[in-house]
Amino acid sequence: MNEPAMDAISKEDLLDKDRKYVWHHITPHNDNPMVVVSGEGSWIKDVDGNRYLDGMSGLWCVNVGHGREEIAEAAAKQMKTIAYSTLIQSHVPAIKLAEKLNEWLEGEYRVFFSNSGSDANEVAFKIARQYHHQNGKPSKHKFISRHRAYHGSSLGSLGATGQAQRKLKYEPLAAGFTHVPPPYCYRCPFGQQEGACRMQCAEAFEDAITWEGADSVAGVIMEPVITGGGMLVPPDGYMKRVQEICNKHDVLLIVDEVICGFGRSGRKFGHHNFGAKPDIVTMAKGMTSAYSPLSATAVSAWLYDSFKDTSKADSHLRHVNTFGGNPVSCAVALANLAILEREELVSRSAWIGEQFRERLQPLAAHPHVGDIRHFGSALGIELVEDKQSKRPAEASLVASYIASCKRLGLIIGKNGDTVPGFANVLTISPPLSSTDEDVAFIVDTLLEAFSIRAEDEG
Ligand code: PLP
């Protein structure tokens, strides 16, 4: 690992200054988060010299793993060539990247670059509203999302988010967002049995559009699999059915690939697993493996073309941001995608998922494991107090498994606050570049963490 120059700051000083000056994201103030100093491959090192396997790839984002020299070199080279240019003009890395993304998307898309996943979703909402405005349906302005979904932290993307705990205290959010129950077969919101239902979770979109009034609905936004909201994998045919409903009502389908994109799902994009053809695809995290901030809103060519009407003076999109599509970030993305392709990390992701599926089978019998859910190399383990009642595991139980894994050298996560009492899904989403040994370490550590608990309880 490349060790950082610590500028003669002692460890104690660093921790003091952290407590004094840094406001940590979504963290209670009396917590003492670890200070990470370096990383290589799937491993990170903290200020105390402890090594951990980064089982969440940061925040589901470091797809190619840490410490990639060639990405650093691509960034440095671009900085020396030209570090900044707007996308009011154009620049070489953005042009190359937009073309490359079309290859990855396996479709004809035009790409609007921004900085974060939240930004990319905001842009999608604005494009959808303006599209309907310019096509004789200006009243179409609402978006339908799902309970438990997470779509970002800005007031619009948080409006699309279906997690009460994240929204309370910040309301009112942007208006015009409504939610339907998610596909959640383990706790079917419609009281149905998996495989023996009419997929009411998909039909719920038809109901919502009808009740809201089709003339008021601009779009549906969904992740292929709800990841941060608890790894909710939909039943077969769900996404295609939602797409049919959208098409019927002239509602745009926006697919949020911020986590599922760039190989996480075992295919290039999550929606490729479900045969859907989104009108708009949003992406961020894995596009640069988070080496540099960048996001994109990819818009179907036909939709982009509808903004080209030169007979209308103001038919173009009135959106700009200073850093969006920064040349250095685009160069980083190109280097990152080159690694994903050269090392065949998309199929590696599928392989990692198969390993989890096979080798973690013993977990299913554990009294605290209610359900195990997979999507490519992303894994969710839903914890319960007991299997019969399916009562969600208390926060302290969830925390104890996360702590056990950390003690054993593995960082894992849990789903975001959805509603009180439902932060009970452990999440694992390692770099797609994880070696055979890394994957074995994750599997062994998880099994050990659970057997430690089992022994603890006698
Ligand atoms: N969409 C999804 C599915 C996400 O998981 C996230 C972030 O975790 C976002 C959007 C927001 O991305 P960002 O944090 O880059 O704004």
Instruction: Look at ligand 1, atom 7, and give the residue with the nearest C-alpha.
Output: 152
| pLDDT value of residue 410 | 98
Query: Which pLDDT score, from 0 to 100, does residue 319 have?
Result: 96
Q: CB of 370 closer than 6 A to ligand 1? A: no
Q: Point out the least confidently predicted range of 2-11, 274-283, 391-400.
A: 2-11
Q: For ligand 1, is residue 416 a contact (CB within 6 Å)? A: no
Sheet of 280-283: strand order equals 109-114, 295-300, 280-283, 252-256, 217-222, 142-146, 177-180
Q: What integer pLDDT is reported at residue 122 of this predicted model? A: 98
Q: What is the pLDDT of residue 91?
A: 98
Contact predicate 156/122, CB 8 Å: yes
Who contacts 139 (Cβ-Cβ below 8 Å, separation ≥6)?
Answer: 132, 215, 216
Ligand 1 neighbour 223 (Cβ under 6 A): yes
**Segment 341-352, tens digit of pLDDT:** 999 999 999 999
Give the pLDDT mean for 188-216: 96
pLDDT over 60 at 105, yes or no: yes
User: What is the rounded distance in angstroms from the CA atom of residue 287 to the CA atom of residue 104?
Assistant: 11
Reduced to 3 states (helix: H, G, I; strand: E, B; else coil), residue 422 is coil
If one compares 342 and 31, the residue with the highest pLDDT of the two is 342
Position 225 pLDDT exceeds 50: yes
User: Does residue 66 register a pLDDT over 90?
Assistant: yes
What average pLDDT does the segment 5-21 reach?
83
Q: Which residue has the higher pLDDT, 312 or 108?
A: 108
With a 6 Å cutoff on the Cβ, whether 57 touches ligand 1 is: no
Q: Which atom of ligand 1 is nearest to the CA of 119?
A: 16
Instruction: Report the alpha-carbon distance of residue 280 to residue 110 in Å, rounded.
Output: 10
In the chain, pLDDT over 70 holds for what percent of residues?
96
**Residue 265: per-residue pLDDT:** 98
- pLDDT reported for residue 6: 59
Cβ–ligand 1 distance for 163 under 6 Å, the answer: no
283, β-bridge pairs: 296
371 Cβ inside 6 Å of ligand 1: no
Which residue did the predictor score with more confidence, 319 or 458? 319
Ligand 1 proximity of 336 Cβ (cutoff 6 Å): no
| Site to substitute for ligand 1 among 143, 145, 225, 259, most atoms within 8 A of C-beta | 259
- pLDDT tens across 145-171, in order? 999 999 999 999 999 999 999 999 999
Q: Nearest 5°: CA angle at 189, between 187 and 194?
A: 55
pLDDT at 420: 77
- Average pLDDT in the chain: 95
HSE (CB half, 13 Å, CA atoms) of 181?
15
CB of 259 shorter than 6 A to ligand 1: yes
pLDDT at 8: 64
Q: pLDDT tens-digit profile of 227-275? A: 999 999 999 999 999 999 999 999 999 999 999 999 999 999 999 999 9
Q: Is the CB of 260 under 6 A from ligand 1?
A: no
Q: What is the pLDDT of residue 458?
A: 38
pLDDT value at residue 4: 63
Model pLDDT, residue 5: 62
- Segment 376-389 shows an average pLDDT of 97
Mutation choice for ligand 1 from 113, 116, 258, 294, CB with most ligand atoms inside 8 A? 258
Whole-prediction pTM value?
A: 0.97
- CA dihedral (287, 290, 292, 293) positive or negative: positive
> Is any ligand 1 atom within 6 A of the Cβ of residue 293?
no
Percent of the chain with pLDDT over 90: 90
Minimum CA distance residue for ligand 1 atom 2: 151
pLDDT at 457 over 60: no
